[in-house]
Amino acid sequence: MIEVIKEQGEGTSASPQNPHPGVADELAHFHVFQELFHGRRLVKVAENPDRWEFTGNAITMPGTRPMGTVPEGGWAAPGQPTPDAETQDLLDQGNQAYSRMLDLLEDAWQANDPDTATGLLDAAVFKMAGLRGPARSLMLREVPGGDGQTYGPEFRYIDN
């Protein structure tokens, strides 16, 4: 498996550039994550042999919300402040979207026909994008008594 990953440019020793068609000078994913870790862009500093260093522009990370840790059992677990109705609705929307996404991924995995599997995978990706709205709305809502922390998605599986 490591050889397949390397072949696809996700850590190849030949070059950090993505060897597959895409954006010119695009880095392989592994090296993009390294840029995030180092906080600087990876740039070629020498040729023959190629040498790359994390000396490029600084990478500014976006601001984050002070999301609290989801309690075991979810935000409405015993001993936790009960979320108001609107917050609970957002939690339910997120959990439903998450659950349907997992269902679609499982169906894609089980599909025998490649076209069917591809269609199911596409639907799962679309469903994943549907998590964005409830998640962002939750992260704007403060948890009562949470010292400024906000709610966030629970990622709880809900059966149909």
How confident is the chain (160 residues) per 10-residue block, as mean pLDDT? 54 62 70 88 89 93 89 92 95 96 95 94 92 95 91 93
Q: Which phi and psi angles does 86 have, rounded to 5°? A: -65, -40
| Residue (of 149, 156, 158, 1) closest to 69 by Cα position | 149
All structural domains of the chain with their residue ranges? 2-53, 65-160
* Dihedral class, residue 155 (left if φ above 0, else alpha if ψ from -120 to 50, else beta): left
Q: What is the pLDDT of residue 1?
A: 44
Token match 């269902």: residue? Answer: 103
**C-beta separation of 37 from 17 below 8 A:** no
pLDDT of residue 93: 95
Specify the pLDDT at position 81. Answer: 86
pLDDT at residue number 123: 95
